Structure 1
Amino acid sequence: MRISIWPGAGQPYGDVLEVARHAAETGWDGVWFADHFMPNAGTGADPEHPVLECGSVVAALGAAVPRIRIGTLVYGNTYRHPAVLANMAATVDQITQGRFTLGVGAGWQINEHQQYGLELPPTGKLIDRFVEALHVLRGLLREPRTTVHGEYYTVTDAICEPKPVQSPLPILIGAKGEKRMLRVVAEHADMWNTWGTPDVIAHKSAVLDRHCAEVERDPKSIARTAQAVTVVDGPLPESGMPAIGGTPSKLAAAIEEYRAAGLDELIVPDRALGAGADRFKAMDAVLGLVRG
């Protein structure tokens, strides 16, 4: 099972870079970064707390940090035209020399859309729009020219050059909805991601397997990734987010449960790992439990 770190976007870039470099130097497999412009309203967070922009950060990390894979968790489709995003992804893959994973999702955070005047359609249309975007992305990243004339996006005989170094560049879809979004994963994704404790991941992974069977897709061709708030030694937070650990033994047990559920990659948010030297110590402890 691979292990990756997810530094929070609400911290200074220097701290993000330190976390990524420590991960690369100590044997972690990847670094992921979220695509948001502000904290989610109504969660108790300071609504004006600074948040780093995702595309700029992954490009910077790609240039500054060697070896380790870098990915987005996940780009919100409503924030950028998919043709623009395809060019961004291809360029970052060039910068990293083939170490980038393009994580995408339908989009959801209400206050970002309200403040920036971005349309956030009802769920059904939001997913329809996302599926169209996936056709644009896959075409531009993998084909010489792409034509899509849809309800939401139109590209005509379009190019995206240079292409990514990877052929194909892996596309990860963030999805938890069992009826439609996991079906989209089965049809379009190379990788899947969602939040969840091991039991939740095992259940949703089984649902994804059923969708794969219906679309005649080998379920093993879709890598499974997941995350939960990770605590090495201390009380689990009461934020309502999925959380694992609390003691090293409980964290080790959760890791083994993920492994038994067929998880390919565990992603560890750094929000509950402390700061400075304490964070590095916690990261080393988590890595040791996974490598075991």
Structure 2
Amino acid sequence: MRLSIWPGALQRYDEILEVARHAEATGWDGVYVADHFMPDAGPGRDPHAPTLECGTLVAALGAAVPRLGLGTLVYGNTYRHPAVLANMAATADHVTGGRFTLGVGAGWQVNEHEQYGIELPPVKQRLDRFVEALEVLHGLLRRPRTTFAGEYYTLTDAVCEPKPLQEELPILIGGGGERRMLGIVAKYADVWNTWGRPDVIAHKSGVLDGFCAEQGRDPRAIRRTAQALVVVDGPVPDAPMPVIGGSPERLRDTVEEYRGIGLDELIVPDRLLGKGADRLKAMDTIRSLVE
């Protein structure tokens, strides 16, 4: 099972770089960056906290760490035109020497859309638009030219050059909706990602397998990745997102559960790992539990 770190973009760049370089030096497999322009306006969050931009940040990290895989969790389709994003992804793959994973999602965060005057459509329209965007991305990244006429996007004999270094740059889709999103994952994704403890991931993975069967696709063709907030040693907070750990022993047991359900990659947000030397020590403990 691969192990990757997810440094929060609310930190200074030098702090994020320290985390990535430590992961590189201590045997982690990858680093991911979220795509938001400000924190979500939820309880206990400062919606005005400075936030680094995802595309620039992931390319900078890719140039600074020569071994780790790099990925996005996940570019929001409502504010990232897929043709522009395809060119960004191809460039990031060249910067990283073929180590980039393009993570995309339908978009959801209300306050960034409100502040920037970007439309956030109802869920059905958002997913319809996302499906078209995935058609555009597949075409531009994997075919010489792309012509596409949809309701939301139109391309005419369009090119995206240079192509990524990877013959098929992995497209990761983030989302866990069981009515429609996992069906989109089954059709278009090389990698699937969502939040959840092992029981949730096992259930949703089974739903995804069912959608793959409906579409005649081998479910093993889609790598499964997941994340939860991690507490290495201390009280587990009451949080809206899933939290694992509390002690190294409990964390080890949960890691084994993820491994047992066939998870391909566990992604660890650094939000609850502390700062400075404490964070690096926590990372070392986590790494030792996944070996």
- Relative to the length of structure 1, the TM-score reads 0.99
Amino acid at match of 2:171: I
Residue 215 of structure 1 pairs with residue 209 of structure 2 = no
Displacement, 1:238?
1.2
Match of 2:124 in 1: 124
Matches within 5 A, 1:215-234: 215-234=215-234
> Per-residue displacement from partner, 1:223-278 (whole Å, max 9, x unpaired)?
00000001110011212210000000100000000111110000000001111011
Q: Is the partner of 2:192 in helix, strand or coil? A: strand
Match of 1:56 in 2: 56
Residue 68 of structure 1 pairs with residue 68 of structure 2 = yes
Q: Is the partner of 2:63 in helix, strand or coil? A: helix
Looking at structure 2, the residues matched to 273 and 202 of structure 1 have their Cα atoms a distance apart, in angstroms, of 26
Amino acid at match of 1:270: D
Displacement, 1:80?
1.4
Looking at structure 2, the residues matched to 156 and 118 of structure 1 have their Cα atoms a distance apart, in angstroms, of 25
Query: How many pairs does the alignment contain?
Result: 291
> Per-residue displacement from partner, 1:102-158 (whole Å, max 9, x unpaired)?
000000000010000111110001000000000001100000000111000011100
Match of 2:19 in 1: 19
Looking at structure 1, the residues matched to 131 and 190 of structure 2 have their Cα atoms a distance apart, in angstroms, of 15
Q: What percentage of aligned pairs have identical amino acids?
A: 71
Match of 1:257 in 2: 257
Amino acid at match of 1:67: R
Residue 195 of structure 1 pairs with residue 192 of structure 2 = no
Looking at structure 1, the residues matched to 75 and 192 of structure 2 have their Cα atoms a distance apart, in angstroms, of 14
Amino acid at match of 2:24: A
Match of 1:148 in 2: 148
Amino acid at match of 2:220: K
Q: Is the partner of 1:164 in helix, strand or coil? A: coil
In structure 2, runs of 5+ residues without a counterpart are none
Displacement, 1:26?
0.7
- Relative to the length of structure 2, the TM-score reads 0.99
Displacement, 1:42?
2.6
Match of 2:237 in 1: 237
Amino acid at match of 1:257: E
Displacement, 1:44?
2.1
Looking at structure 1, the residues matched to 184 and 273 of structure 2 have their Cα atoms a distance apart, in angstroms, of 33
Match of 2:29 in 1: 29
Aligned-pair Cα RMSD in Å: 0.6
Looking at structure 2, the residues matched to 185 and 64 of structure 1 have their Cα atoms a distance apart, in angstroms, of 31
Looking at structure 2, the residues matched to 115 and 43 of structure 1 have their Cα atoms a distance apart, in angstroms, of 19
Q: Is the partner of 2:41 in helix, strand or coil? A: coil
Displacement, 1:43?
2.8
Matches within 5 A, 1:149-188: 149-188=149-188
Amino acid at match of 1:48: H
Q: Is the partner of 1:165 in helix, strand or coil? A: coil
